[in-house]
Amino acid sequence: MRLSQTFIKTLREAPKDETAKNGALLTRAGYIHKEMAGVYDYLPLGLRVINNLENIIRDELNKLGCEEVLMSALQNAEIWEKTGRFSDQEVDIWFKTELSGGGILGLAPTHEEPMVNMMRKYVTSYKDLPFSVYQFQNKFRNELRAKSGILRGREFLMKDLYSFHTQEEDLDKFYTKVEEAYARIFERVGLGDSTYKTFASGGIFSKFSHEYQTLLPVGEDTVYYNADKSLVLNKEVFEDEVLKEFGADRADFTEDTGAEVGNIFKLKFKYSEPLGLKFVDEDNKQQTVYMGCYGIGVSRLMGVIAEKYADEKGLVWPEMVAPFKYYLVGIGEAGLKRAEELYTGHEDEILFDDRDLRVGEKFADAELMGIPYRVVISDKTLGAGSAEVTERLTGETSLVKIEKLFN
Ligand code: ATP
Ligand code: MG
């Protein structure tokens, strides 16, 4: 991508209506544009980060044999009435809208009901099970507070995965596989050291559900961990009764704040029962399908990474999620010419700053945008057949032979 040709512009100052660090930095660096509180557009750089996150998640889920779909945001009230979740008393964050011919629709805040309802058309026998289905889809939630940038949106991108089984043991096995996949996902996006599987309430099947919490000063959740962080509990389950179950002592725990980047539930029959998702077993008996569901907040994840790695100069993307690996600057006539040549054929990994700007301004943007490696080619470096490569994370600079670049 050539910076001379893009419409995006970086901003020197933080926007006045943005109090969250992630929102301010991502806006200044040209990754997102705010439509209104809790509603954001993803610009070319921001979309590349989202796509990278999606691809890492997709890769790990496809390895488990999960199938990708894309379901509608518009929802039929009737389906949700079967579980009682269309009621504003039950679910207080609905966006609802009217059909022109009369009748009310909702904008999906999640997809358990339509997913289960859809599967009634495809599941009849034990031979159809097990399987698992996921999507990357925009959810709509009329959140009371939306002041955390992309950490809490009224429209946000979620990965939601649902699994369908004939038996409890099969659900258990799959659940464990998802746990392993989630550990790899958070590792690959650069949050392996700071993200913990925590015990949370709301388990239908077992007593607990699990959340994935990234320790973060601005995280909205309170978590408690023991000395080696081998046991992390959410606030709502941090009680004497639960601690006793784990053989743990309240005094050994430290309180901290976290951002929930994902969660996993053994749903058992919670949705398959009321919506009538059944199968016929080997003995020709009707049984209810066992289910699990597994979420990751993809746009929140981007915000968490932005917050976590930022420094006073701007964003700092881990290589695996960065929109581009290199930020290329040519200085002087020969440097510019050589940079042009090197850019050709590597357009997908190089953000080429070919703008007619002072070098200082280019360097400031390279830092603000958080591209992992800044590559500078000047008459001076060319004299040594090299380019000067600076790592964004450490600030370390080294000379790299031109033929070793971009391979
Ligand atoms: P929270 O407690 O933060 O409101 P939740 O329990 O409502 O989250 P789920 O309904 O389980 O979340 O959604 C799955 C994932 O989607 C969450 O783990 C989180 O990462 C993300 N998520 C939930 N609400 C939002 C939101 N308003 N904006 C961005 N991401 C969200
Ligand atoms: Mg919520």
Gap from CA of 3 to ligand 2 centroid (Å): 38
Q: Do 331 and 304 share a structural domain?
A: no
Q: Do 335 and 305 share a structural domain?
A: no
What is the arithmetic mean of pLDDT over 236-261? 95
For ligand 1, atom 19, name the residue with the nearest CA: 297
For ligand 1, atom 16, name the residue with the nearest CA: 297
Q: Do 381 and 271 share a structural domain?
A: no
Q: Tokens 């050709």 map to which residue?
A: 344
Gap from CA of 355 to ligand 1 centroid (Å): 40
For ligand 1, atom 1, name the residue with the nearest CA: 260
Mutation pick for ligand 1 pocket among 263, 299, 305, 307 (CB with most ligand atoms within 8 Å): 263
Is residue 9 one of the residues assigned to a domain?
A: yes
Is residue 356 one of the residues assigned to a domain?
A: yes
CATH (domain of 375): 3.40.50.800
Q: Which two tokens stand for residue 266?
A: 């053994």
- Ligand 1, residue 160: give the atom nearest the CA: 14
- pLDDT-derived band at 384, boundaries 50, 70, 90: very high
Is residue 140 one of the residues assigned to a domain?
A: yes
Predicted confidence (pLDDT) per residue in 154-170, tens digit: 999 999 999 999 999 99
Is residue 198 one of the residues assigned to a domain?
A: yes
Q: What is the pLDDT of residue 202?
A: 78
Q: Do 270 and 344 share a structural domain?
A: no
309, 342, 366 — which closes off a domain? 309
Q: Do 274 and 341 share a structural domain?
A: no
Ligand number nearest to the C-alpha of 156 = 1
Is residue 315 one of the residues assigned to a domain?
A: no
Distance between CA atoms of residues 113 and 133, nearest Å: 14
Q: Do 375 and 256 share a structural domain?
A: no
Q: Do 253 and 381 share a structural domain?
A: no
pTM: 0.97
Q: What is the pLDDT of residue 204?
A: 62
Ligand number nearest to the C-alpha of 109 = 1
Q: Letter for the amino acid at 287?
A: Q
Q: Do 334 and 292 share a structural domain?
A: no
What is the arithmetic mean of pLDDT over 229-237? 95
Pocket of ligand 1, beta carbon within 6 A? 110, 141, 143, 152-153, 156, 158, 260-263, 295, 297, 299-300
Q: Which two tokens stand for residue 38?
A: 């809790």
Residue spans of alpha helices (H) in 64-111:
77-81
Q: Do 191 and 118 share a structural domain?
A: yes
- Ligand 1, residue 141: give the atom nearest the CA: 27
Gap from CA of 280 to ligand 1 centroid (Å): 35
Mutation pick for ligand 1 pocket among 208, 260, 263, 270 (CB with most ligand atoms within 8 Å): 260
Residue spans of alpha helices (H) in 237-385:
240-245, 272-275, 298-309, 332-343, 359-369, 379-383
Gap from CA of 134 to ligand 2 centroid (Å): 20
For ligand 1, atom 5, name the residue with the nearest CA: 260
309, 342, 360 — which closes off a domain? 309
Ligand number nearest to the C-alpha of 141 = 1
Gap from CA of 260 to ligand 2 centroid (Å): 10
Q: What is the pLDDT of residue 3?
A: 98
Q: Do 58 and 153 share a structural domain?
A: yes
CATH (domain of 159): 3.30.930.10
Distance between CA atoms of residues 95 and 87, nearest Å: 12
What is the arithmetic mean of pLDDT over 251-263? 97
For ligand 1, atom 4, name the residue with the nearest CA: 152
| Structural domain containing residue 132 | 3-309
Instruction: Specify whether the CB–CB gap between 308 and 261 falls below 8 A.
Output: no
Does residue 44 have a cis peptide bond before it, meaning omega lies within 30 degrees of 0? no
Distance between CA atoms of residues 307 and 194, nearest Å: 12
Q: Do 246 and 103 share a structural domain?
A: yes
Gap from CA of 345 to ligand 1 centroid (Å): 40
Chain centroid to CA 341: 36
- pLDDT-derived band at 205, boundaries 50, 70, 90: low
Predicted confidence (pLDDT) per residue in 25-74, tens digit: 999 999 999 999 999 999 999 999 999 999 999 999 999 999 999 999 99
Q: 96 pairs with which residues across the strands?
A: 106
Question: Which residues have a Cβ under 8 Å from the Cβ of 119 and sit 6 or more positions away?
Answer: 133, 164, 277, 289
What is the arithmetic mean of pLDDT over 211-217? 98
> Domain count of the chain?
2
Is residue 35 one of the residues assigned to a domain?
A: yes
Q: Do 35 and 165 share a structural domain?
A: yes
Ligand number nearest to the C-alpha of 198 = 1
Gap from CA of 310 to ligand 1 centroid (Å): 23
Gap from CA of 364 to ligand 1 centroid (Å): 34
Gap from CA of 367 to ligand 2 centroid (Å): 34
Is residue 317 one of the residues assigned to a domain?
A: no
Gap from CA of 283 to ligand 1 centroid (Å): 41
Asked if the model's pLDDT at residue 203 lies above 70, the reply is no
Predicted confidence (pLDDT) per residue in 284-333, tens digit: 999 999 999 999 999 999 999 999 999 999 999 999 999 999 999 999 99
- Ligand 1, residue 295: give the atom nearest the CA: 14
- Ligand 1, residue 143: give the atom nearest the CA: 27
Is residue 276 one of the residues assigned to a domain?
A: yes
